[in-house]
Structure 1
Amino acid sequence: MLFAPGLALGKGQDAGGPWAAPGTNLDQIEIIRMSSTSSSAHSGRSSAPAPQHQGHPVSPSDIAVGVIIGRTSEFFDFFVFAIASVIVFPQRIFPFVDPLSGTLLSFALLALAFVVRPLGSALFMAVDRRHGRVTKLTTALFLMGTATVAMGLIPSYDTAGDWAIVILAVLRIGQGLALGGAWDGMPSLLALTSPRNRRGFYAMIPQLGAPIGLIVASLLFAYLAANLSEADFLDWGWRYPFFVAFSVNVVALFARLRIVATDEFGQLFRSRELQPTRLGTTLAEDGGAVLLGIFVPLASFAMFHMVTVYPLSWIFLYTNETLVSFLVIEAVAAVAGIAAILLSGFLADRIGRQRLLLVGALLIGGFAILAPLLLSAGQTGETIYMIAGFFILGLSFGQSSGAVASLFGVRNRYTGSALVSDLAWMFGAGFAPLTALLLSTWLGLPAAGLYLLSGAICSTVAVLLAGRMDFKGDA
């Protein structure tokens, strides 16, 4: 029985360089670079000092609030779709195949958003250059909210036939395009405006949105699954999280516009040169940073799905554990992830980001070896798998955003960070649930562990190379 009693859905057979020491005077480096930039070909951009807002200095805390709310809404949308891909879509959208095949097909739809996300970034950056960041962000989040709420209205395959699959795929593509457009540059702005001796702390703030979004999504599905019959849940209960996601998007939109739309923050974006450059320009000037940047957070992003979506599918398909209990375990483990993300900020400011990312990649490699034993050891092993996995993930994931931003100079940081994030998520996480489930089904759980181990090796090498190369960033 995977659901609570009364809801038993079927069981079947994821020095000024990027690693400058905390003591390096990065603010002086930034001021020098901004001064030289303002007298160059980019003199049209202001290099004025940070503006005042209602008589008070612009505070990183103000930016942090908008960042957390925005990232929470994005990850909540993701987890609502991901959880439904395991417990709803195989039965409503792909009932004509066995549960495993239905889950794999659902994971293929899950990956669609990651594939089109770079296209969304390119499309909406063009909107940004022509019409401004407010128009771009409003349009992107409106598209995200519309696609998400429409998913909650999709008829079943039994009612609409193949059109149900086509509609879900189109809406998932819409989510991916919108996710690319939802990049607002605030994580990079947060890194640039934070105190230089606390940049590790502020770099981890955007990452808090992931576990918070997972906690809300998991507990919401757990509540519905525990209080509805199987028939009611599959008929209408599963739709509510998608409607809630729309509401969360509206709140996030206003919270972010409250910051992005102000003249003070507009001047701050311009003074820090956080403006979208063309993709061709960014690749021509910082192509090496883009290529290396894809692999720096690869292990974190692969680990992200290996402790969220993949174990849910494995438990649902191959064990008799109730879905409700595992969703609760997932939410509790996400709390451990929050603690680890917070700890990553403290450690990065003391031992340095490179060392912490290197330790994180090595821990992920060790976890990849032990994970198959834990996931096959019953509920106790699954609990240890989830909590230990989330804690290790938090240490590495907490600094992955700052590590990406630090690879770029001021001119290309906005576009470069968005592009690297898109590509790293696509290669590291987009196909992780599908690949891991296929490998573990065909070759056993150790094969999924080896898949994760390969990502850890790639990130280890990339972090070491990034530490030796002279990139222009200092975030």
Structure 2
Amino acid sequence: MCAATPSPSNLPREADGHDVRPSDIAVGVIIGRSSEFFDFFVFAIASVIVFPQRYFSFADPLTATLWSFAVFALAFLARPLGTAFFTVIDRNYGKNTKLTLSLLILGTATVGMGLIPSYDQIGAASIAVLCLLRIAQGFALGGAWDGLPALLNMNAPENRRGLYVMAPQLGAPVGLIVASLLFAYLLANMSQADFLNWGWRYPFFVAFAINVVALFARLRIVVTPEYSQAFEDHELEPTSFRAAFANDGRTILAGAFVPLASFALFHMVTVFPLSWIYLYTNETLTSFLLIEALAAAFGFVAIILSGVIADRIGHRKLLLRCAVAIAIFSLVAPLLLGSNQFGEAIYMIVGFIILGLSFGQSSGAVASLFEARRRYTGSAIVSDLAWLFGAGFAPLAALALSSWLGLPAAGLYLLSGALCTMAALWFARQLRLR
């Protein structure tokens, strides 16, 4: 049974006596996640259409793209290390220092990527610098966790919690739409030579500017006295990794695998299809980037719908049904992607709709398993591990399997993620996931 909407007296109060509304938290969350995902997709798109030619020009197109995807995965390996480091900063110096330092590193690394000379200019040093900056990006993202999603989860009305906890996930389609349209504009209005020489750098500089705006927007919320008090009231304080695993090891394990299908599908409809179209068809990148932006808009709506549905049937039932849908999609998807442009559009739109319904609740469902005083760090660790296991190597694995064994092999990879999610949901049921 859903509890009644909390009375105003149960909501955290601002210093002047006004309520801190969940909608205010949601705005800060969406701004922060949109900036992070824009960074993410700028690098992802460049990994397909820029880096193979600039930094792996010594290899054939497929091998160069696989190397580029290997660099892409480095951020996911570094992210848990960043979370551990910045948790110490948070505990000793506060969220203000942690967020400022992490986003400074993130912005510097992002701008630096736009300034790296090509392999033809400085040789292997260009690859080494790209790898170091990618590691710095992942490390910094570990410190970008501000705890607002956990606070949002706990302040949202019980009968509308699904609608509120989907808010952080809206940043993904927003970031993808902006990144895709920006690259599409550059490709449509520049020669290929100009784009590869200097045009591709602009999205990285734009990412830095967006990060600055997002930093101030988030600091404006996180470091204010009323929100600091709200964190304290809910005991949402950072704990050590040792304590987190000692107290919530099983919950962290379940949390890491519950969203596996969502995160695998995430890359199967964003990064992987772009690489397949680029390498194995004669379509223009501009047209496919526009299809990707359109499909992401469907995903945006589906994420919102996930909140409505979850509030009616519960997180677990929705995620389980989405896992089944992803399993079915994994068998049909190769036929669509390997057909014509219409089939590709159907692949993208249907994939994004399923992704939105699943991705919208994948994080919030697991966060509620943690006790309030351990939710801040536990949610951060779960997020890091889920992205690492479910998404970090997905583009590399999917492209390698599909190139060597055919598109159905990529579908089987996605199917394995769906089966893992079903198993994790069964395990999470033992932990009373609603």
Fold in common (TM above 0.5) = yes
Does the 8 Å contact 2:5/2:157 carry over to 1?
Answer: no
Aligned with residue 73 of structure 1, among 7, 15, 35: 35
Any gaps of 5 or more consecutive residues in structure 1? 1-20, 32-47
For 1:288 and 1:119, the matched residues in 2 are separated by: 20
Higher mean C-alpha deviation, range 107-116 or range 459-468? 459-468
The residue correspondences of 1:11-30 to structure 2 (distance < 5 A) are 21=1, 23-24=2-3
Structure 2 letter corresponding to 1:205: A
Structure 1 letter corresponding to 2:126: A
Aligned with residue 196 of structure 2, among 231, 234, 237: 234
Which residue pairs with 1:142 in the alignment?
104
Which residue pairs with 1:209 in the alignment?
171
Structure 2 residue 276 is matched with structure 1 residue 311: no
- Write out per-residue CA displacement over residues 39-72 of structure 1, whole angstroms, 9 at most, x where no aligned residue: xxxxxxxxx9622243310011111111001000
Q: Which has the higher contact order (CA 8 A, sep 6+)?
A: 1
- Write out per-residue CA displacement over residues 412-445 of structure 1, whole angstroms, 9 at most, x where no aligned residue: 1111100011001001000000000000011100
Does the 8 Å contact 1:439/1:448 carry over to 2?
Answer: yes
Q: Alignment partner of 2:370: what SS?
A: coil
Structure 1 letter corresponding to 2:34: T
Does the 8 Å contact 1:404/1:421 carry over to 2?
Answer: no
Which residue pairs with 1:466 in the alignment?
428
For 2:28 and 2:48, the matched residues in 1 are separated by: 31
Aligned with residue 365 of structure 1, among 306, 327, 340: 327
**Structure 1 runs of 4+ off > 3 angstroms?**
24-28
Deviation at 1:140, TM superposition (A): 0.3
For 2:3 and 2:212, the matched residues in 1 are separated by: 41
- Write out per-residue CA displacement over residues 70-116 of structure 1, whole angstroms, 9 at most, x where no aligned residue: 00000000000000000000000100000111100000000000001
Sort the Cα spacing of 1:49 and 1:346 in 2 relative to 1 into closer, same or farther, 3 A.
closer
Which residue pairs with 1:255 in the alignment?
217
Aligned with residue 294 of structure 1, among 241, 256, 261: 256
The residue correspondences of 1:5-404 to structure 2 (distance < 5 A) are 21=1, 23-24=2-3, 50-404=12-366
Aligned residues: 433
For 1:196 and 1:52, the matched residues in 2 are separated by: 21
Compare CA radii of gyration and give the structure with the larger one. Answer: 1
Does the 8 Å contact 2:169/2:303 carry over to 1?
Answer: yes
- Write out per-residue CA displacement over residues 168-224 of structure 1, whole angstroms, 9 at most, x where no aligned residue: 000000000000000000001011111111000001000000000000000000000
Structure 2 residue 383 is matched with structure 1 residue 421: yes
Which residue pairs with 1:6 in the alignment?
none
Q: Alignment partner of 1:411: what SS?
A: helix
For 1:308 and 1:213, the matched residues in 2 are separated by: 12
Structure 1 letter corresponding to 2:239: T
Structure 2 letter corresponding to 1:342: I
For 1:290 and 1:206, the matched residues in 2 are separated by: 20
Deviation at 1:406, TM superposition (A): 1.3
Deviation at 1:283, TM superposition (A): 0.6
- Write out per-residue CA displacement over residues 354-407 of structure 1, whole angstroms, 9 at most, x where no aligned residue: 111111111111110101000011101100000000000000000012012112
Structure 2 letter corresponding to 1:453: L
- Write out per-residue CA displacement over residues 270-300 of structure 1, whole angstroms, 9 at most, x where no aligned residue: 1111111111111111101011111111100
Which residue pairs with 1:4 in the alignment?
none
Does the 8 Å contact 1:198/1:349 carry over to 2?
Answer: yes
Which residue pairs with 1:450 in the alignment?
412
Which residue pairs with 1:40 in the alignment?
none
State percent identity of aligned pairs.
67
Does the 8 Å contact 1:296/1:403 carry over to 2?
Answer: no
TM-score of the pair, normalised by structure 1: 0.89
Does the 8 Å contact 2:166/2:307 carry over to 1?
Answer: yes
For 1:151 and 1:223, the matched residues in 2 are separated by: 20
Q: What is the Cα-based RMSD across aligned positions, in Å?
A: 1.5
Sort the Cα spacing of 1:384 and 1:65 in 2 relative to 1 into closer, same or farther, 3 A.
same
Report the structure, 1 or 2, having the larger helix content: 2
- Write out per-residue CA displacement over residues 236-295 of structure 1, whole angstroms, 9 at most, x where no aligned residue: 000000000000000100000000110110010111111111111111111010111111
For 2:432 and 2:306, the matched residues in 1 are separated by: 24
Structure 1 letter corresponding to 2:362: S
